[in-house]
């Protein structure tokens, strides 16, 4: 990881590199610290949404403390159906605690970003999955800038208008076959 903050066009940013080396500050820690610092809102956009136990617990704690947590993921337009099914395994838990989940409808989205409180953004190569948290070499920028975060928020909100919000009531009506596929997918992509 880098200790040097940079400035470009008046925007303060921190380049952050993560790798499986034991000597690096893991991507998981950056994401958890970003989520943990939220006081008003958390916006997550990711093509591969496999939050681990600590991330799910923190997201739910944030909702319970009054923070709005919104997640935007792809729908069936996805380059990995099994990862999508595995991520859906967690919808029930997250919807029950108040996390808002939407699936983007028009096409596959490959955006990977996090916006916290309309002022801190994390954007780069990292997904919300085990590979990015612990296995892959990743690079992201942590950007502290209200104007930039506002622009990202506007993009996310425009995409949310083209997404389908998943309701808990709707999700509870899915069949036993769907639930079985989600569990099998989760077990098969544990290393993803």
DSSP-derived pairing of the beta strands 138-144 and 113-116: unpaired
> Tens digits of per-residue pLDDT, 137-182?
567 777 888 999 999 999 999 999 999 999 999 999 999 999 999 8
> Tens digits of per-residue pLDDT, 61-108?
999 999 999 999 988 777 678 888 888 999 999 999 999 999 988 777
Using CA atoms, how far apart are residues 47 and 50, in angstroms rounded to an integer? 10
Query: Other CB atoms closer than 10 Å to residue 185's CB: what's the count?
Result: 20
pTM to 2 decimal places: 0.80
Confidence of residue 2 (pLDDT cuts 50, 70, 90): very low
Nearest-5° angle of CA 136, CA 95, CA 159?
Answer: 65
- Termini Cα distance of the chain: 23
Phi-psi group of 10: left, alpha or beta (phi > 0 → left; psi -120 to 50 → alpha; rest → beta): left
- Distance between alpha carbon 165 and the CA centroid of its chain, in Å? 16
> Tens digits of per-residue pLDDT, 98-117?
999 999 887 777 678 899 99
> Tens digits of per-residue pLDDT, 3-38?
445 555 566 666 666 555 554 456 677 788 889 999
């Amino acid at each position: 990881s880098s200790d040097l903050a940079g400035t470009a066009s008046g925007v303060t940013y921190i380049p952050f590199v993560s790798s499986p080396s034991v000597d690096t500050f893991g991507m998981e820690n950056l994401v958890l610290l970003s989520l943990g610092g939220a006081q008003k809102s958390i916006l997550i956009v990711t093509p591969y949404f496999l939050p681990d136990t600590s991330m799910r617990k923190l997201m739910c704690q944030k909702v319970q403390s009054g923070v709005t947590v919104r997640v935007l993921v792809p729908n069936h337009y996805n380059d990995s159906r099994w990862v999508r099914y595995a991520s859906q395994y967690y919808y029930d838990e997250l919807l029950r605690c108040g996390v808002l989940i939407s699936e983007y409808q028009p096409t596959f989205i490959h955006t990977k970003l996090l916006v916290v409180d309309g002022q801190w953004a994390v954007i780069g190569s990292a997904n919300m999955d085990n590979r990015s948290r612990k296995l892959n070499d990743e690079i992201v920028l942590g950007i502290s800038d209200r104007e930039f975060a506002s622009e990202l928020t506007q993009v996310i909100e425009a995409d949310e208008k083209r997404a389908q919000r998943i309701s808990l009531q709707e999700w509870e009506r899915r069949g036993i076959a769907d639930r079985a596929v989600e569990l099998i997918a989760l077990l098969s992509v544990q290393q993803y």
